[in-house]
Structure 1
Amino acid sequence: MKTDVLVVGAGFSGSVVSRQLADSGKTVVIIDKRSHIAGNAYDTNDKHGILVHTYGPHIFHTNSQEVFSYLSAFTKWRPYEHRVLASIDGQLLPIPINIDTVNRLYGLNLDEEGLKSYFESVRDPRDPIKTSEDAIVNIVGWDLYKKFYKGYTNKQWGLDPSELFASVAARVPVRTNHDDRYFTDTHQAMPLDGYTEMFSRMLDHPGITIRLGVEYQKIRQEYSPKHLVYTGPIDEYFDFCFGKLPYRSLFFEHEHLPTVQKFQQVGTVNYPNEHEYTRITEFKHLTGQEHSGTSIVREYPKAEGDPYYPIPRPENDELFKRYQKLAEKEKGVTFVGRLAQYRYYNMDQVVGAALSASKSILDEI
């Protein structure tokens, strides 16, 4: 079968590229091995009528007006500022660490300048900063590092923070004010009708054909596209010829509590030092739904399973670069997305990368 473009993967990357190319008059076939669109952002009503994120919480935030405006063509928004608490020594404390975190944890009454002086007195200066351990102890010292970061990182990645790039820790900043929002981006909101509905509108175009429940390797011979857009794992595309790229996976334990209206104070509570799971998210905080019960999800990181997070370590980066060199030699193929580019992208970064890739593809075909 002929088509201008075959797109592998119906998550953010594949869907954005598909819509951009279809709007430019190209015929597009988009496939996904799962039975649904929207990738890991897929949400659906559970059997109790509560909108839940099947693959864990997805909180949209961005400083990019271009990305926000683009997605706004396919959804209205519910303003939402995500807040997270961490269970530490019997208390629920704000994370990222801020002035209230430190004051409540240690029974202090510091102001902003006092907190800066406190951090200066407890920090363990590191230069250069190479690892996540370096990045944290350099700012807040060892006690806060052990209480908030070390255990969580060990669970999340199966590695010590000293074994991971500093960029991992940099995703959770440290603040000296009272700001308890998890993100500080200009735009913070949730798709009003959910992510799946947003994707459905994005892919609703006469130039786009959707095929679900099919694997690329099994149907690749059916098509002769002018261009291929691949958003899956780059090592899988090349039949793991250099070995498998390491990914961290997750197991999601969903639970409905029929007689509980509100399970926790905020959208997400982290458990750095207790339980096998890393966090619990309560979806009604995110969606604003009214319901007599509530639905939550616990996240258990694991080594095997669907690839969710590229593991940011030097040796993994070197292995990816070997695959990247092969990718650069592939004619008529664009690799885009978290798995294809082996990057720990946020959703808005994925959209930005997909918009950029779309322009390059249109220049080519």
Structure 2
Amino acid sequence: MDTLIVGAGFAGAVTARELAEAGERVLVVDKRPHVAGNAYDRLDAAGVLVHEYGPHIFHTNSESVFGWLSRFTTWRPYEHRVLAVPDASTGRAYPLPINRTTINSLYGLDLDEAGVAAFLERVREPREPIRTSEDVVLNSVGRDLCERFFRGYTRKQWGLDLSELAGGVAARIPTRTNDDDRYFSDRYQAMPAEGYTRLFERLLAHPNIEVRTGVEYAAVAGLDRRRTVFTGPIDEFYGRRFGALPYRSLRFEHEHLAGTTQLQPVGTVNYPNDHAWTRITEFKHLSGQQHAGSSVVREIPQDMDAPGAEPYYPIPNPANEALYKRYEALAEAETEVFFLGRLAQYRYYNMDQVVAAALALARRLTAQRRAQPAP
């Protein structure tokens, strides 16, 4: 083979397809028994399409990324909406990201857009410089909204306080003065019409690609090849030489509700301050599937020392970034191994960002090969 790719998620599969179309022979291995990585979806026992590892909502502003993926799927237009229940004893739900509806409903006000902007300016706590996620939130919406919607959720999700996380985590969630209740505002928002797994099956269906699932990297590390693209945890690749990079894990509680056609008014409801779970997602909103029952998943964050825990999120703060830099220095010295993806680059990638990075890497590798003189 020319290239061994470790991991059959977006990073590995997109790289594999692009290299295969350039004439390379590619072997893709994944330790899980399926392709699609964390985007893997399946029909549950009741026949409802569910996302095994929590909701994956596709959104992008990149016409090129959306167009490239459109070769392997048709799309169902879908704009994700999220409600948050800051106090489960009342059950009152408010739009998230915070918008005009959130503020008017929460405080019994009737503000227009200018009024909401003035309200936020009045309650915000200016922070300079902005370093942490606490700085971001307090600088944007002030202390009361921070305590109701952000601090508890962050503590559950990351096992850290807002003040212990890099600012980029909270900066992902905007604040709006209008009534736009979409979670994302990207130009392209859609779900693969037949699901992610089917998209990946088409993506990997190329005569130059061989896929082996249920295979650990160690089992194929000795195979002869020109190069390796590794999409797993970078510290694992190097035997945790400098110590384990911290990752946050999740436990997923899937449940089918027979006879319940709809549990929630929107796809996801957050519970920032109550319960062990951070959010509940109802999958029929995402897929548009018609079914007499409904299936949901509760996400319960956990540490990596929990039984069966897998790494899902790099934990961005200065200490962890410094540790990653030591591994990155090893990676930069490699000439035949390339690291790509959320775990390999210790970066909080969205799906479209991973696709763009994979396309860029594959095209760079192809260009390098073509530039080499013929033997």
> Counterpart of 2:136?
135
> Counterpart of 1:206?
207
> Counterpart of 1:155?
156
State the Cα distance separating 1:364 from its structure 2 match. Answer: 2.9
SS of the equivalent of 1:88 reads coil
State the Cα distance separating 1:255 from its structure 2 match. Answer: 0.1
> Counterpart of 1:348?
352
Deviates more, 1:67-76 or 1:331-340: 331-340
> Counterpart of 1:231?
231
CA–CA separation in structure 2 for the residues paired with 1:116 and 1:257: 41
SS of the equivalent of 2:53 reads coil
CA–CA separation in structure 2 for the residues paired with 1:65 and 1:195: 19
Structure 2 gap segments, 5+ residues each: 370-375
> Counterpart of 1:300?
300
After TM superposition, the score normalised by the length of structure 2 is 0.96
> Counterpart of 1:317?
321
State the Cα distance separating 1:333 from its structure 2 match. Answer: 1.1
% identical aligned pairs: 60
Spell out, residue by residue over 1:310-363, the C-alpha distance to the aligned partner (whole angstroms, 9 max, x if none).
000001001111100000111211111111110000000000000001012112
Q: Residue type matched to 1:228 in 2?
A: T
Task: Establish whether residue 85 from structure 1 lines up as the match of residue 72 from structure 2.
Answer: no
> Counterpart of 1:9?
7
State the Cα distance separating 1:288 from its structure 2 match. Answer: 0.2
Q: Residue type matched to 2:363 in 1?
A: K
* Number of aligned residue pairs: 362
Match of 1:32 among 10, 30, 33: 30
> Counterpart of 1:258?
258
SS of the equivalent of 2:242 reads coil
Q: Residue type matched to 1:235 in 2?
A: D
> Counterpart of 1:273?
273
Deviates more, 1:65-74 or 1:211-220: 211-220
Spell out, residue by residue over 1:181-230, the C-alpha distance to the aligned partner (whole angstroms, 9 max, x if none).
00000000000000000000000000000011111012211x11111111
CA–CA separation in structure 2 for the residues paired with 1:141 and 1:212: 48
> Counterpart of 2:121?
120
CA–CA separation in structure 2 for the residues paired with 1:361 and 1:8: 16
What pairs up with 1:23-62 in 2 under 5 angstroms?
Answer: 23-62=21-60
State the Cα distance separating 1:88 from its structure 2 match. Answer: 2.3
Q: Residue type matched to 1:261 in 2?
A: T
State the Cα distance separating 1:146 from its structure 2 match. Answer: 0.2
Structure 1 gap segments, 5+ residues each: none
Task: Establish whether residue 327 from structure 1 lines up as the match of residue 325 from structure 2.
Answer: no
> Counterpart of 1:102?
103
Runs of 4+ in 1 over 3 A off after TM superposition: none
CA–CA separation in structure 2 for the residues paired with 1:15 and 1:39: 9
Spell out, residue by residue over 1:61-83, the C-alpha distance to the aligned partner (whole angstroms, 9 max, x if none).
00000100000000000000000
SS of the equivalent of 1:7 reads strand
CA–CA separation in structure 2 for the residues paired with 1:237 and 1:215: 12
Deviates more, 1:183-192 or 1:354-363: 354-363
RMSD (Å), alpha carbons: 0.6
Spell out, residue by residue over 1:285-310, the C-alpha distance to the aligned partner (whole angstroms, 9 max, x if none).
00000000000000000012110000
CA–CA separation in structure 1 for the residues paired with 2:342 and 2:298: 23
Q: Residue type matched to 1:331 in 2?
A: T
CA–CA separation in structure 2 for the residues paired with 1:270 and 1:40: 20
State the Cα distance separating 1:21 from its structure 2 match. Answer: 0.4
Deviates more, 1:63-72 or 1:326-335: 326-335
Match of 1:18 among 5, 16, 19: 16
SS of the equivalent of 2:85 reads strand
Task: Establish whether residue 358 from structure 1 lines up as the match of residue 362 from structure 2.
Answer: yes
CA–CA separation in structure 1 for the residues paired with 2:148 and 2:264: 21
After TM superposition, the score normalised by the length of structure 1 is 0.98
